[in-house]
Amino acid sequence: MSIRVTQGMMTNQLMRNVTKNYNNMNKYQENLSTGRKINKPSDDPVGITYALRYRSELTMNEQYQKNMDSAKSFVEHTDTIMGQINDVLQRASELTVKGVTGTNPQSALDAISAEMGGIFDTLLVLGNDQMNGKFIFNGQKTDQMPYSTGGESTDTQKVNFQSAAGVIIPINITGNEVFGENTDQDNMFTIIKSLQTAFKNGDQSTAVSLMDKLQSRMDKFLDMRSEVGARSNRIDLMDSRLKDLSLNLTDLSSKTEDADMAETIIKLQSQESIYQASLSSGAKIIQPSLLDYLR
């Protein structure tokens, strides 16, 4: 700086400093009122790319959680229905054991046969179960009833839900897996139907051979049921992982975007005092000139 200092220089310098301090104050004020330290891309060009990523991931994470909620309710519903099927099968097994003991009069066998008919009908109803208007056991053909006579095969394809970026999990099990294909020896409908007929005819030996098939179907059914349970666990796991991730992302996002309140307030306050100092020193510098002392 040169030796000569003029009023104009002083005023300009003062204006410059006051404006600069006021700008700084405005910045902290903005950070404070929005609660964010990134309010536009230029505030932190690198930070903003992260901020945007976290925001997107959080949004999608919400969606995945929503998907998992739906998946869970679907799987749980399937499990409930399978529980009911299990009860019915247990009953069929008891009846069969009772029926093949050999001391039953035909009237008792007729009663067993009639109950078997009822069991068959119940199974048919359960096999055609719907959730939200969709048939749960007919693979992707959710709008078509899988069983009308019990002699059909179902669609075998899985319905997948998305649980994370690039990760899909199947939510349904098909009628074929639960009841057996229509060509299977141990197709559930076929066995129950055959048992009904055998008892009606008092055909003990056929009933005995069917008992083995019933057992084999029950084993497969229980396998399937435990698979549903495992899938439910998988969904739970996925869900809690998504929740963890959500927490993690919120944390990261906040670290990237959010202003540290304590720090910002302190900075704002120190900026405020700097601003006031520049104003008051300005007032002091600008006012006097030699004029004030000349008479």
Partner 1 sequence: MASTFHGIETSKRALSTQMALMQTMGHNVANANTDGYSRQRVNISASRPIEALGFTKSNAAGQLGTGVQYDSITRVRDKFLDDQFRNESKDFGSWSVQSDTLNKLEGIINEPSDTGIRTVLDNFWKAWSDLSQNPENVTGRKVVRESAMALADAFNYTDKKLSDLSADLTSNIDAKANQINSLTTAIARLNDVIYRQEGLGDDANDWRDQRDLLTDQLSQIVNIQVTDTPQGYTINMGSTNLVTFDTATETTADALTNGVGSGDISSGEVFGIVTSRDRHVAEYRKQLDSLANTIANGEVQITIPKGSVLPPGTVLNGTPYNGALTSDITVTVQGLNGLQKLGYTLNSPLQTGVDFFTSKDGSPITASNFQLNKIIADDPGRIATSMRSETTAAGEAVVKGNNVLALLTSQLKDTSFKFVSTGSATVVSNGTVDDFFRAVVGQLGVQASEASRNMNNQKSLVDHIASQKMSVSGVSIDEEMSNMIMYQHAYSAAARAMTTFDQVLDKVINNMGIVGR
Give the interface segment with partner 1, choosing from 100-108, 118-126, 132-140, 263-271 (CB under 8 A): 132-140
Task: Give residue 18's Cα distance to chain centre.
Answer: 54
Q: Report the alpha-carbon distance of residue 156 to residue 142 in Å, rounded.
A: 11
DSSP-H helix ranges across the chain: 7-34, 45-99, 106-127, 175-179, 188-201, 204-257, 261-286
For residue 35, state whether it binds partner 1 (rule: CB under 8 A): no
Closer residue to partner 1 in complex, CB, 186/239: 239
Window of 109-117, 162-170, 181-189, 269-277 that interacts with partner 1 by CB under 8 A: 162-170
> What is the per-residue binding string for partner 1 in 13-32, x denoting contact by CB under 8 A?
x--x----------------
**DSSP 8-state assignment for residue 117:** H
Is 46 or 262 the residue whose CB approaches partner 1 more closely?
Answer: 46
Q: What angle do CA 238, 241, 247 make, to 5 degrees?
A: 145
Least distance between partner 1 and beta carbon 232 (Å): 17
Taking the least distance from each CB to partner 1, the nearer of 65 and 248 is 65
Would you say 59 or 201 has its CB closer to partner 1?
Answer: 59
223 binds partner 1 (CB under 8 A): no
Adjacent-strand bridge partners of 164: 167
Distance CA 245, CA 195 (A): 53
Q: Does 262 bind partner 1 (CB under 8 A)?
A: no
Separation between Cα atoms, residue 212 and residue 294, nearest integer Å: 125
Closest approach of Cβ 3 to partner 1, in Å?
A: 8
> Among 77, 91, 134, 234, which residue sits at the site for partner 1 (rule: CB under 8 A)?
134
Long-range contacts of 231-238 (CB under 8 A, 24+ apart): 231/75, 231/169, 231/170, 231/171, 232/72, 232/75, 232/76, 232/79, 234/169, 235/68, 235/71, 235/72, 235/75, 235/163, 235/169, 235/171, 236/72, 238/68, 238/163, 238/164, 238/169
Question: Rounded to whole angstroms, what are the CA distances from 85 to 78, 122, 185, 197, 291?
Answer: 10, 8, 19, 21, 106
Q: Is position 131 an interface residue for partner 1 (rule: CB under 8 A)? A: no
295 touches partner 1 by CB under 8 A: no
| 64 scored as a contact of partner 1 (CB under 8 A) | yes
Minimum separation from the CB atom of position 97 to partner 1 (A): 39
Interface residue with partner 1 among 93, 122, 128, 160 (CB under 8 A) is 160
Tokens of 85: 């099927």
Residues that bind partner 1 in the complex, under the rule CB under 8 A: 1-9, 12-13, 16, 36, 38-46, 48-49, 51-53, 55-56, 59-60, 62-64, 66-67, 70, 132-134, 138-143, 155, 157, 159-162, 165-166, 168, 257, 289-291, 294
